[in-house]
Structure 1
Amino acid sequence: MPTLQQTILEKKAALADTVSAPLGLLAARVAEVWPDADAIDRRLQEGLASLPNCQLLYAWDVNGIELSSMVRAKGPDPSWRGRDLSDRPYLKNHLPYKGVMLSSVYLSKYTYEFCLTALQAVSRDNQLLGFIAADFAVNDLLRNDKLAAVQEVKWKQFRG
């Protein structure tokens, strides 16, 4: 019987498989309009539907400065443009220069929910331009039956 940690790891692996192709295609479309923030917002908004359970999409440059708006289902929020995201937990690790990388679980400063971020490099002519981030709420992922079959987690209480 899997533990909660095993369940989360299984969900993360399934999420990486699910988002890899759509994020790769979206990165190619975003690269075409980089660094035009309004055009990037439009591309991210169009790509949001291809990423089930994704709460936010945003792009930042190689210096960790947010270039796009926070793109949500209800539209873009430009108030975060220009913010320094270099202190984000997922930027402390090695970033993906190709493909997708998933962050550890952390508390979002935007939604105030526990989430994880799928990161995709954005390149043009073999030059790294920046990254796309797709944020997923942990609670949404745990409820999503399409992201791997999960057995019921049972808890035992021991008295000392």
Structure 2
Amino acid sequence: MKKSLTIGVAAGVMTLLGITSYQAIAYVTQVAPASSAAVSMPVKAFEVDPTWVKEGTPNFRATEFFKSHDGKTSSGIFECDGPSTFEWHYQLDETIYVLDGGVDIEYQGKRFSLKPGETAFFRAGTSALWHVPKGIRKTWTLHDAGKPARGLAKLLG
């Protein structure tokens, strides 16, 4: 029994060491090189499903300025003109930080407003109603936690 336990623990440690080594090698070999100069990345117009737009004619613009080597995390800038009201559907977990303007949001039965310097988190598989009175400029970070984590979040949530 003691020998089996020792072998099991050793196998677990070796597995964790292997996974950690693989992740480190993947990161080092696939990560983008460090910046050596400034890069201009203007925001570009993009379309959303027209059924999402409830009022107004929002002009959506965005640019992605970071994507992790494994594709599970990305960050960027988003802009939208108001007045407009639209429903946003979250495919991945998203954290935002408002840079300019503001928004009134209805999300999971709650109403709140965000202004410059404020942040909010939205879970994958949910949606929110956004009312942009004049305009908003925000950063976003998307994170794919994976199916097991999303399933557990739904159970606990």
Query: TM-score of the superposition, structure 1-length normalised?
Result: 0.27
**Greater relative CO, 1 or 2 (CA 8 Å, sep 6+):** 1
Larger strand fraction of residues: 2
Structure whose CA Rg is larger: 2
